[in-house]
Amino acid sequence: MIRTSRQLADGREILYFDDDAHPAPHDAADGRDLPPVSTRSQLRHDALLDEWVVVASHRQTRTFLPPADQCPLCPSRPGRPTEIPDADYQVVSFENRFPSLATGVERDVPAYAPGNPLAELRPGFGRCEVVVFTSDHDRDFFQLGADRARLVVDVWAERTQELSAVDGVEQVFVFENHGEEIGVTLSHPHGQIYAYPFVTPRVATVLGSVRRHRERTGKDLFAQVVAAERSGPRVVAANEHWTAFVPAAARWPYELQLFPTRRVPDLPALTDAERDAFVEVYLDVLGRFAHRFDTPMPYIASWNQAPVRARDDWWLHLQLFSLRRAPGKLKYLAGSESGMGAFITDTNPEDVAEQLRAVVLP
């Protein structure tokens, strides 16, 4: 993989990634007249839940569902400059123009929220990047092909390693939101990376469960879950290095977890063979999501990587889930889910696994 670093007109970094066989100079300049990026994010601590909330009110003006000929992630063309100055590219990563977290955020913030000395405030430090998978506006991830998908995996790993080394970053989150129903504001195939200055609630909860299980039983909870599911009735796709299964207590109507056979903490720790094998399984299950109904399912692909300072207790895995429960019907997070965090699912995990296995891929 070849990496080329450039700067956009407002000073943000843009990184071009090419496979070794197709290098490119990527020397087009960004000629736009852009104002400096203004980031006013804060972290506010919820004392009752012991969780951090990111307040990023400046994001209200971000780009929202532009027409295809105004897409800011397509290559630039004469008279139509975009976020990516080159006329073509393979995979690109750049700092978000409307970031929730930023390294250049205002550091001088009050100690507490107005009127509440229990609501600690911190600067909204971190980094938010956009990862664009292809220059083709109309090609979804499952249509990328093995070579391009593998390049994306290598980019995810490279960015994870670099961002994990930033002083103050505690967790790196790689994800893709796909489909307007999910809340996507740009339809061009892309994902994002968040470098958080805290450990997210989900990861903290899982770590707590793993540690309590070890103290109580002396056994590895991750290893037991992986071993049980690899031989269970909910496997949808598998090879030597990866297994994709519907979790026994799935929260979403259609949900898969992809675990590597070998315990690794994060994407950079995967071998070349494991990365190739992931692409095989991932493109398979994405194709099943795309063809389960008459239209492709919206989904979130969410990498669960080890926190920067808690690598030994973690097992890398990917969550892939959709809120579509039937043709034309979505699962809304209503009172129980949104109010209490108690999920009520509309589908049976074993049935979902059988339905996904039965999908005939073109």
Position 169 pLDDT exceeds 90: yes
Tokens for 101?
Answer: 């977290």
Classified by CATH at the fold level, domain 2-198 comes out as HIT family, subunit A (3.30.428)
Query: pLDDT (tens digit, 9 = 90+) per residue, 294-306?
Result: 999 999 999 999 9
How far is Cα 69 from Cα 49, in angstroms, rounded to an integer?
A: 44
Backbone angles phi, psi at 101, to 5 degrees: -135, 145
Q: Which CATH number fits domain 202-358: 3.40.50.2300, 3.40.50.1110, 1.10.10.10, 3.30.428.10?
A: 3.30.428.10
Q: Which of 26, 178, 190, 241 is catalytic?
A: 190
Q: What was the pLDDT predicted at 37?
A: 81
CATH 3.30.428.10 residue window(s) in the chain: 2-198, 202-358
119 exposed, middle or buried (CB, 10 Å; 0-12, 13-18, 19+)?
Answer: middle
- Read off the pLDDT of each residue in 208-221 and give the average, rounded to a whole number: 98
For residues 83 and 73, is the Cβ–Cβ distance under 8 A?
Answer: yes
**CA dist 22 to 1, 5, 26, 124, Å?**
10, 16, 12, 38
Query: pLDDT (tens digit, 9 = 90+) per residue, 51-77?
Result: 999 998 767 666 667 888 899 999 999
Which residue reads 């073109």 in tokens? 362
For residues 126 and 195, is the Cβ–Cβ distance under 8 A?
Answer: yes
Tell me if residue 213 is catalytic. Answer: no
**Over pLDDT 90: what percentage of the chain?**
90
Which residue reads 């059988």 in tokens? 354
Query: pLDDT (tens digit, 9 = 90+) per residue, 282-294?
Result: 999 999 999 999 9
DSSP letter at 244 equals: E
Position 329 pLDDT exceeds 80: yes
For residues 66 and 313, the model is more confident at 313
**CA dist 260 to 240, 265, 275, Å?**
9, 10, 10
Query: pLDDT (tens digit, 9 = 90+) per residue, 85-139?
Result: 999 999 999 999 989 999 988 888 899 999 999 999 999 999 999 999 999 999 9
Mean pLDDT of the chain: 95
Q: What was the pLDDT predicted at 58?
A: 66
> Dihedral angle at the C-alpha atoms of 207, 209, 214, 217, nearest 10 degrees?
-170
How far is Cα 225 from Cα 184, in angstroms, rounded to an integer?
A: 32
